[in-house]
Amino acid sequence: MNNGEYYVDDEDSEMVLLLQKLNVSKPVAKTLVCLLTAEKITSREVEMMSRLRQPEVSIAMTYLQKNNWVEVEEVKKKQGKGRPIKVYTLTVPMDDIIDTIEQKVISENQMMLENIERLKGLS
């Protein structure tokens, strides 16, 4: 888990912006960047690092889990009661995630080009 003070910096921000340009939501993009900074990270740490609210982090983590890009582990608190802390780990290399995004973009653009060709054929 990340113990130092860390916020998404300019270099990370460029990655966030590029991911957003590829139709990745801002919360997912920021969460991915946070996951790249630490081997294991709690949702609370993601909130602080990314300056996202809890519901945004939760939705982003759900999306990442559905894509099998992160693993979640519940860890009991050392003291006190309450819910266990969820600790997340990126399970897929970022290159593989980028490849998946690339394939999705290519597929979507191919469909758009096919629709344009159909339009041309109908006019």
Query: What pLDDT shows up at residue 38?
Result: 85
Closest CA to 29 of 40, 39, 21, 19: 19
Instruction: Kindly provide the residue ranges of all beta strands, DSSP E only, lying in 3-108, ordered along the sequence.
Output: 41-42, 70-75, 85-90
The pTM score is 0.81
Here the tokens at position 57 are 């982090």
Average pLDDT over residues 32-51: 92
pLDDT digits (tens, 9 = 90+) for 42-90: 999 999 999 999 999 999 999 999 999 999 998 887 777 788 889 999 9
* pLDDT surpasses 80 at 33: yes
* pLDDT surpasses 90 at 95: yes
Length of the chain: 123
Query: What pLDDT shows up at residue 123?
Result: 87
DSSP 79: S
